[in-house]
């Protein structure tokens, strides 16, 4: 605002620089959608480590491989993950929650239920203590380790205690409000009408892990998208970059309808779907163009990896068995992003698969050479480096397609730029659409792109060779201005991985 002058002298006015900084976005937040032992259903939960996953979702579970996939993600360098638990209630109308009813001095009992459905809730025990003077009660909720209900009771693995609870709605310690705000184990389903009677180690019951979940159930857009359930529960997540869908049971496998829905959704969210090989692909000859196309539609926002990876299974005395590779590969991608940047192909001698004991199929160079042109990212084992990721193509990377999004790091770099610019140019909306605005856009977007250039994200030795930003009268003709449109054109020269290193050796006869 101009300074109002009223006296002779020097006036100071602070002016807005007009610079709008565009910040980068995280590059390797991985979303996992599948079955877990416990946890909120159809709610994306951001976690930061395997310990947090174990506390909130129950850790490894023999009935569903998602826990193993998350563990392999963190073993290989993963950082942040978004977990979506899907759950199919048991038949007969039950909802799968464990419950316990506790009698009170009033007509209505206190009805507690586990915080989430599943048989884990049957290991909850509640103890009630009453106060001899005041009309309050104290609750202790214990979660005990798996095992028979005793005696003796199994050891306690988690415990919560709530003191001076009231049955009176509106009071500062009303039991319903306190448990809703503070408990990670239980919720109040029905509040008591009087002080709850004393009880010791009263066990919850009727918790159920539900029916097997059909993979198609998470991909039924007509049924689930509007309610933000299944795959579309991720609509409630702010950001993710990689998408992993482990099998819902050890002998199950996502079908094409699920992979295609997930790939389309990943494209919408500017993310990459990591596709697992079919369990029946136990030889390189099984991985044909027809079989690939029958598994998933080719898209630039998906990448296929083969074969499965062997890891020790803590649930089977650490005996080695094969797992789908997507979780471990997501960890390798996250590690590469941190160490080298997402423009570096997440493949090569440095892309080692930690904790792996081997691969389900040992590929030869010739077999690798047959699969690479089909856009199959091979996993290989070499004597010096162990098991590594040895491919970095999208599903549009088949040689026959000659697609611009052939390489995974090129596609991911483009998605990163798109997401950062989408978020970083929201301030443009409703601004006067003329040269002052265009100048600010060129300055802020150009600064962001130049920062990437200085980090080595693009080809070229000068900014002019590496990228361009255009926003002026040429990109914004009057008819677009009249329609309220401002157009920004951004281009970059991507780094492409060197898939083939050719060394020419010439023998020179020494002079006599």
CATH number at residue 399: 3.40.50
pLDDT at site 315: 96
Measured distance CA(55)–CA(39) in Å, rounded: 9
Whether pLDDT at 340 is above 90: yes
- % of the chain beyond a pLDDT of 70: 96
Q: What is the pTM of this model?
A: 0.93
Distance CA 306, CA 377 (A): 6
On whether residue 23 sits in a domain, the answer given is no
Average pLDDT estimate for 117-130: 97
Question: Domain residues for 493?
Answer: 429-512
Q: Is the pLDDT of residue 366 over 60?
A: yes
Rg (CA), the chain: 29
**Chain-centre distance of CA 126, in angstroms?**
35
Output the DSSP codes for 219-267: G-HHHHTTTT-GGGGGGGSS--SEEE---SSTT----HHHHHHHHHHHH
- Rounded to an integer, the average pLDDT of 48-62 is 96
Range scoring the smallest mean pLDDT among 14-23, 165-174, 227-236, 241-250: 14-23
> How sure is the predictor about 21, in pLDDT bands with cuts at 50, 70 and 90?
confident
The CA distance from 89 to 119, in Å, is: 12
pLDDT band at 147 (very low <50, low <70, confident <90, very high): confident
Domain termination site, one of 378, 409, 440? 409
Contact 403, 300 (CB under 8 A): yes
Higher pLDDT residue, 148 or 13? Answer: 148
Q: By C-alpha distance, which of 369, 362, 373 is closest to 400?
A: 373
Residue partners of 370: CB distance under 8 A and separation at least 6:
284
Pairwise CA distance, residues 158 & 139, whole Å:
14
What pLDDT, on a 0 to 100 scale, did the predictor assign at position 510?
63
Asked if residue 248 lies in contact with residue 87, where contact means CB atoms within 8 angstroms, the answer is no
Find the angle CA(93)-CA(96)-CA(98) to the nearest 5 degrees. 125
Residue 512 pLDDT more than 60?
Answer: no
pLDDT at position 219: 82
The Cα angle at residue 67 between residues 64 and 70, in degrees rounded to 5: 135
The overall average pLDDT reported for the chain is 93
**pLDDT at residue 1 above 60?**
no
Return left, alpha or beta for 92; rule: phi > 0 is left, psi -120 to 50 is alpha, else beta. left
As a whole number of angstroms, the distance between CA 420 and CA 202 comes to: 53
Residue 2 is predicted with a pLDDT of 62
Q: If DSSP codes are grouped into helix, strand and coil, which group holds residue 82?
A: strand
Quick one: 270 and 380 in the same domain? Answer: yes
- Note the pLDDT of residue 506: 64
Q: Is residue 25 part of a domain?
A: no
Mean pLDDT, to the nearest integer, of 27-50? 97
Question: Are residue 403 and residue 274 in the same domain, yes or no?
Answer: yes
Residue 242 within any structural domain of the chain: yes
Cα–Cα dist 85/83, whole Å: 6
Listing from the earlier edge strand, what are the strands of the sheet with 186-190?
Answer: 99-102, 110-114, 186-190
3-state helix, strand, coil in the chain (%, to 5): 30, 20, 50
DSSP H or E stretch at residue 46: strand 45-47
Cβ neighbors of 413 (< 8 A, separation 6 or more) are: 342, 343, 457, 492, 494, 495
Q: What's the confidence (pLDDT) of residue 207?
A: 97
State whether 293 and 375 are in the same domain: yes
Residues 243 and 384 in one domain: yes
Which of these three, 409, 440, 458, is where a domain ends? 409
Q: Is residue 5 part of a domain?
A: no
Cα distance between residue 449 and residue 466, in whole Å: 9
Domain membership of residue 20 (yes or no) is no
Grade residue 412 by pLDDT with cuts at 50, 70 and 90: very high
Arithmetic mean of pLDDT, 224-240:
95
In this prediction, residue 85 has a pLDDT band, given cuts at 50, 70 and 90, of very high
pLDDT in tens, 249-276: 988 899 999 999 999 999 999 999 999 9
**Each residue's pLDDT tens digit, 419-432:** 999 999 999 999 99
Residues 468, 327 within the same domain: no
Strands (E), 118-254: 124-130, 137-144, 156-165, 186-190, 199-203, 242-244
pLDDT band at 509 (very low <50, low <70, confident <90, very high): low
- Of the residues 203, 221, 249, the one at which a domain ends: 203
pLDDT of residue 171: 96
- Model confidence at 507: pLDDT above 80: no
Q: DSSP for 420-478, please give it.
A: HHHHHTGGGTTS--SHHHHHHHHHHHHHHHHHHHHTT-BSSSSHHHHEEEE-STTTS-H
Characterise 283 by phi-psi region: left (phi > 0), alpha (psi -120 to 50), beta (else): beta
In the numeric block, the tokens 């990689």 are attached to 242
Within-domain flag for 65: yes
**18-27, 57-66, 436-445, 452-461: which range is least confident on average?**
18-27
Whether 198 and 216 share a structural domain: no
Residue 192 falls in which region: left (phi positive, over 0), alpha (psi -120 to 50) or beta: beta
Average pLDDT over residues 338-344: 96
Residue 171: give its domain's CATH number.
2.60.40
Whether 245 and 289 share a structural domain: yes
DSSP letter, residue 17: -
500: left (phi over 0), alpha (psi -120 to 50) or beta: beta
Same-domain status, 494 and 512: yes
Output the pLDDT for position 9: 73
- Specify whether 246 is located in the same domain as 373: yes
Selection from 43, 177, 72, 195 nearest residue 129 by Cα: 195
Domain count, the chain: 3
- Please give the pLDDT value at position 16: 63
Q: Is residue 367 part of a domain?
A: yes
Can you name the residues that pair with 290 across neighbouring β-strands?
none
pLDDT at 15: 62
Is the Cα dihedral 376, 266, 34, 335 positive or negative?
positive
User: Before 307, cis peptide (omega within 30)?
Assistant: yes
pLDDT, residue 19, reads: 67
Question: Do residue 236 and residue 174 come from a single domain?
Answer: no
Instruction: Read off the pLDDT of residues 287-312 as tens digits, 9 standing for 90 and up.
Output: 999 999 999 999 999 999 999 999 99
Same domain for 457 and 506, yes or no, is yes
**93 within a domain of the structure (yes/no):** no
Poorest-pLDDT segment among 6-15, 36-45, 172-181, 352-361: 6-15
Same-domain status, 307 and 170: no
């Amino acid at each position: 605002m101009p300074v109002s002058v009223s006296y002779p002298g020097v006036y100071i006015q602070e002016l807005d620089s007009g610079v709008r900084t565009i910040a980068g976005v995280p590059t390797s937040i991985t979303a996992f959608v599948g079955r877990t032992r416990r946890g909120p259903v159809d709610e994306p939960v951001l976690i930061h480590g395997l310990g947090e996953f174990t506390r909130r979702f129950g850790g490894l579970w023999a009935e569903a491989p998602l826990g193993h996939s998350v563990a392999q993600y963190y073993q290989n360098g993963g950082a942040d993950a978004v977990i979506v638990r899907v759950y199919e209630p048991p038949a007969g109308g039950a909802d799968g929650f464990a419950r316990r009813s506790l009698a009170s001095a009033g007509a209505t009992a206190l009805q507690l239920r586990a915080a989430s459905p599943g048989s884990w809730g049957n290991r909850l025990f509640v103890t009630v203590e009453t106060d001899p003077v005041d009309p309050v009660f104290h609750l202790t909720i214990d979660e005990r380790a798996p095992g028979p209900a005793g005696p003796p009771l199994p050891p306690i693995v988690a415990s919560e205690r709530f003191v001076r609870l009231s049955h009176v709605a509106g009071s500062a310690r009303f039991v319903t409000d306190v448990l809703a705000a503070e408990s990670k184990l239980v919720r109040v389903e029905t509040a008591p009408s009087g002080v709850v009677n004393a009880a010791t180690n009263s066990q919850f019951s009727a918790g159920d892990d539900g029916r097997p979940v059909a993979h198609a159930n998470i991909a039924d857009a007509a049924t689930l998208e509007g309610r933000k359930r299944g795959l579309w529960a991720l609509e409630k997540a702010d950001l993710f970059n990689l998408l992993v869908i482990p099998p819902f049971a050890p002998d199950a496998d996502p079908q094409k309808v699920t992979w295609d829905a997930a790939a389309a959704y990943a494209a919408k969210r500017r993310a990459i779907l990591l596709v697992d090989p079919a369990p029946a692909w136990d030889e390189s000859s099984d991985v044909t163009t027809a079989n690939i196309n029958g598994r998933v539609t080719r898209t630039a926002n998906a990448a296929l990896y083969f074969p499965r990876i062997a890891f020790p299974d803590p649930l089977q005395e650490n005996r080695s068995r094969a797992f789908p590779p997507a979780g471990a590969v997501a960890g390798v991608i996250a590690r590469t992003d941190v160490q080298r940047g997402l423009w570096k192909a997440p493949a090569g001698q440095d892309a080692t698969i930690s904790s792996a004991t081997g691969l389900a199929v040992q590929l030869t160079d010739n077999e690798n050479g047959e699969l690479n042109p089909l856009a199959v990212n091979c996993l290989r084992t070499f004597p010096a480096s162990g098991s590594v990721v040895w491919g970095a193509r999208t599903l549009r990377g088949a040689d026959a397609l000659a697609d611009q999004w052939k390489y995974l790091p090129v596609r991911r770099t483009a998605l990163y730029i798109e997401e950062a610019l989408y978020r970083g140019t929201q301030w443009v909306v409703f601004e006067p659409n003329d040269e002052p605005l265009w100048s600010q856009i060129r300055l802020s977007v150009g600064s962001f792109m130049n920062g990437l250039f200085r980090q080595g994200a693009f080809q070229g030795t000068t900014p002019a060779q590496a990228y361009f930003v255009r926003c002026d009268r040429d990109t914004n003709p009057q008819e677009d201005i009249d329609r309220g449109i401002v157009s920004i054109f951004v281009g970059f020269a991507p780094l492409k991985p060197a898939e083939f290193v050719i060394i020419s050796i010439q023998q020179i006869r020494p002079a006599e």
